[in-house]
Structure 1
Amino acid sequence: MLTPLRIFTAPNRLRLLLLLVCSFLAQQAAATHIVGGELDLQYQSGSTYRITLNLYFDALNGNPGALDQDLTVSIFEKGSNRRLQNVVLPLSTNTFVAYTNPACTQPSLVTRSLVYSRLVELPASIYNSAGGYYAVVERCCRNNGINNIVLPGNAGQTFYLEFPAVVRNGQPFVNSTPRIFPPLSDYACRGDLFYYNFSGQDADKDSLVYELVTPLNGSSDPADPKPVVAAPAPYSSINWNPGLGTLNQIPGAPTLSIGRFTGRLEVRPTQIGLFVFGIKCSEYRKGEKIGEVRRDFQLKVLNCPSNIPPEMVVLMPNAPRAYQPSRDTLRLQPNADRCVRLRFTDPNPTSRLTLSLNPVNFTGPLPTFASITQGLVRAPGAPDTLVSQLCFPACLDTKGKVFFVDVIVADDGCALPKRDTVRVAFTSAPVPNGAPRITTTANPLPLRARPGDLVTFDVAVTDPENDPITLTLAGRGFQAAAVGAQLTQGISGNQVQGRFSWRVPCPTTNQRLFEFELVATGSPCAERQATTIVIPVQVEYNNRPPTLTSDFPAALSAEPIVIRRVLGGFFEATLEGLDADTDQLTLTAAGNNFDLAAAGMSFVPTNGAGRATGIFRWEPNCDQTTLATPLEVTFQLREATCVPVGQQRTVRFEVASADTLTFLPPNIFTPNTDGTNDFFELRDLPPNFCNAEFSDIKIFNRWGKQVYTSTSRNFRWDGSNMPAGAYYYLIVYTDKRRYKGNVTIAR
């Protein structure tokens, strides 16, 4: 059968071209060249967490259009695969991953670190399933040049982590996932051992366990490289090339491995190429697995120039022969030589060598390199062999056990340094050490002081071995700073010198003996040695009350002393206070609700230690009658001491009228014009006094009818032709004083 002839017209050719272009663009969009990455979930506070995606991207071969500005993480319940929320993570940083040794940088290997991050709420009312949860981001595609998986350009990556419920047994269960592995930008050399520390850190101090896993592919593919949301589990894995698998991910002798508890990655690759690998880090709390984090990454293997490892020789102390790790043990004594010599070289030309140490079975003070730690060999002007010295601390004490330390020399070869290691076994006894010594000028003891006294003495501290010393001050049963005691100190030569000072305060309790502790502490070999001395200070305080005397007249009973004076005179008195304890005395005088000067009063004190005097003077005047009544002045003697006992006197001052005679008005008169007793008049009326002046007189008959009135204190009433009988009078002064009486008219 003949095949129909297909004729392509111009429009048909155009449609075919557009189809081919669209297919090519779709493949280009899918080829994102993802290197690897991992998810991270960190607790913040309350129910708030931060979820982060670290994505590593091939900066040379990757499609710039695939540098996403955001990616979506989906969170599911493990037991049911129920979707709980989708969270859009915005791109927060875009940086390059640095090489361990920048000198080994290869232009064919450049990696970007893309970080997507956002805060997310995980409330206990929702995230309480005992089976836990998982978070997922799906994205395609991997590098086309990967050599250990099938169709790498079509393979996606599933970023995956697991985390527990945020509440357990009704209580908050806080957990952050482990932050694992620094990003890897280094390459490996075929035939050389490649190693890298992928160990992580956990904020909750959970135990971490590492293992190799097959990377996850998931549901993303070139047709749907960036799903709107991730699909629930299970997730498909990538397909290994024949002969490879989870425990044989990179061709090598040995193949790729990772330390179960150390996270140290090792492989000696036997083929060049680009190889993807997967690692899982599980976290355990109290023996129970509570979460995991997966990371996918890739390792590039290159043919590298030949690099012969450097060589290290450790020479025995005071002997020319080399240390033999399988036979020798250094036994370091307190007063013997504690240093060994090191000779190291490299057969390669122009090699820069670096020394380092790794303690194997101990922690604490490490030996130190007493001379060089690095240098150049086999270069023009450089030696063929370098010499250094390793010295063990005088404080190092192995307590009879054998410790091991690796002395390492490394070159600057690529991709990673070649090394030579000598493991040195040793025992060490520390140098004997004496305790610090304290001397003071405090003498004799106990020191004796009164409140207000300043107690001072000097302190000097020395150490037999001139170890660093700290000097502290404390109180027995009290805080030294709380009572105002201070210790100032400084260093003079190999001494610590200080001065103690204490202004003795007033006692607030019955405590009279204060014991101050001076503690000198040295820490030789990280072992505390202390010397303590006690300085007792006896506070002497027994207060006797002061006495107050004056030439005021003695008071009768408990009533105040009363001083009366008429206008035109004055009163003066002297007061004296004495104190047997010679405390500072102060005499004061104060009017009760009035000002002394306004009342014509003054007080001049002379205060001092143990004695105080004062002179009081009063000049009565009419203005004082308008002030508060009565005029009472309080004289007070105060002492400056811890528990003062005051003394006081209260004196009342009164302005007396000049009228000291008894007012006896007549009670009868005879208005019969015989010239004798014809008028009712009061020649002995109380005189006018300040604001008390005569106002008027009114006279009334027996029925209360007013029959006479006058405003003149010199009045004369002739009876006004009133019938004989009794009449009543009322005399009023301007200060409201009243005088009442009766008078009889006799005819």
Structure 2
Amino acid sequence: MKTKIKMMALLVACVLFGLSTNVFATHFQGGDLTYVCISPDMYMVTAKVYRDCTGAAAYTYNDLKVWSPGCNTGRVIPMTMQGGLVTGSPYCQAVGNPCSTTGRPNYQEVTFNALVVLTADEIACNDIIFSTRNSARNTNENIVGQDYIYTEAFVKLRPSVNSQVQFYNSSPQFSGNNIPIPIVCFGQQTRFSLNANEKDGDSLSYELIAAQSNYNTPIAYKPNPMMLNPNTPINNPNPKSPYSNPLRPQVALVQGIMPPDFTPTFPMPSVTVNWNGPATVPMQDPLSPTGTTMVWAATPSFNLNPLSGELIFTPSAYYPGTNPNLGRNKYVVVVQINEFRKVNGAMIKVGHVRRDILFIVEDCSGNQTTQPDIPTPAPIFNTTIKSDTIIDVQTCNSTPLRFLFSDPNPGDKLTVTFDTTVVDRMPNSYLKIRNNGTTMVEALLYITPEAQHVGRDYYLPVTITDDHCPIKGTATYIYRIHVVKNNFAEPEGGQKQRTICLGDRADLKVKLLRPDSLLIPPAIKLHKANYTYQWTLDAASDPANAGLDANASTQKDIAVKPTAPGNYRYHLRITSPVSGCSDTISFAVKVLALPQIQDIKVKYAEGLEEIMFGRSAPLQVLSNITNAADYTYSWSPGTGLSDSTAMNPIASPLKTTTYKLTVSSKEGNCKAEREVTVKVGELFLPNIITPNNDGSNDAFIYKGIQPNTSLKIYNRWGVLLKAYDNYDNSFKGEGISDGTYYYIVKEPNGGKSYKGWFEIVRD
């Protein structure tokens, strides 16, 4: 068991005042009013009243007012007391739980019922208020005087006065796990559940409201005597190591302020410190080398969860030794629970009830509050523990939630109570509690939501009570169990889309995420989950070419071999043994036609069948490919090409080269290959001529150079001897003696230039 918040002591001196006892004989500490719709326009109304054992004797009668403000003045119906007085048991067995005018605070519960049959005039009013009003409240710390205690419940009969729709609404009902006169421990975090059970499927919201003495008549709130300014220090009375030395306490600094007056939403001093968390606030410390020390944050907070109805606060003021009649440690808190129902797409408030609570702060003598531990289920259950009280479970899946309870006070025995009304409402639920009443309690809750439960929240109160003396410790945790949709199967490998080549096969396989077993009450043991399978073809897919074998349509895994290019979609519906639970997985298969390369042409210059040396020619691929972006292209070798990954590159090899083109689909690995040879003409520039008319080397002749090329011939001293603007391979050394000469050959239009030397030899 983990300690949620350790005891906190405030450095506040509590001054005791010698006030006289109450002027009135007071005894009302709290109460609530609920109703159940028995039949159309007939309601059973129940009032629970809680009297202070130190006050006047319990009433044996109670009056119920039925009225509609603004429509009729109403009528009064006597209520009937049900059974005897029920005395509270907040203390351990050793000290007992007497109900007397002296001694420890205690209460008695009194229950009254009244059957209300609405009259025609009341039905016409449509909005009905049930209420009780009794004198007088206990003296307490946060509201003025000893006024009447007023309880109220509201019911709307129809969406509007003339509507033919009737709600037949029953109010939320309170569990007996949390009596609204709780003793809470000074300095320790308190979690208190309103435990409202709603059987009509309506949505509930919770809000803190002012205590009232009559209809729409709030009672004034007193000033808050405990004003903590920001940076007020607070010491932890149970410091963590290494702060066990009294000379070096574990300190928190107040962040923010409490209201100067008590309010309905901040009705008592409450400052929360997470002593188990990190120190986050700098505090001046002359003994520190840096002049500051990191300490903890103390935050004024009194929180009500509007969805779950859980109150979380830390009582932070305690006045020891005072007469209980002075009310110094008693705080009134009132919560209203609103019901909403969706009608024609709109949320309509159909009712509300209130719970009038009196929190009594005591020094619990070191009894520390506890929190259960929830080990994370195995991954197969796909459960998410989102926080200490928020759990996501999936539909069509039996999720085991294991709770472990132990007390931080050695030897204290625990009694764990689940709200079975909520458990019974959970779909296909099963609860087993082991070793209740011992120092180590374990609970196992199975829940198997069905498809129709997706999106629902189940707020499960769990009350933990120890047997500590003299004051028993009690905490209620509300677990929000949220149902999410379960995809209880997925494609093997996670691949729902695939591309294949025509003639290839696609294996469609699934992996069950919860393949072993399910718990379906009334069974108390897991049973083998026998799933069924059904393959179908999407309506947009061509059944004649899809390759779906009807004989294999009820198998878990299949293989398909489409007979024509196109897009095909196959659906697999998997059904589990849980009623209504199924999952559909879709596979998309794209079938590509095999690429075909009919020819690759080299676009030589007109009249040529080769590329001049250093020149280029485009390559043109002729194929059946209609969308070039669906394929990749790879030329080998890649040298001499403008882009070895383009479909139609430009070739510029320096010698005759054979290229191979490989065309592949981006998916499916459909391939085609073809080769092409690019011919390159030889580059030749002579380094000798022998102009003797023997037919060999008689002239300065070049090859592989563009026509209309200029030629200039120089002697060794750089003197220009010959110049041709459009050289035609005709120079035979005319007018020049034998010897070594230099040339510059330049192609037209800014083309290439070639420089070199040659000899003239006539012998």
TM-score, length basis structure 2: 0.39
Larger radius of gyration, structure 1 or 2?
1
Query: Normalization by structure 1: what TM-score?
Result: 0.40
- Higher relative CO (Cα under 8 Å, sequence separation at least 6) belongs to 2
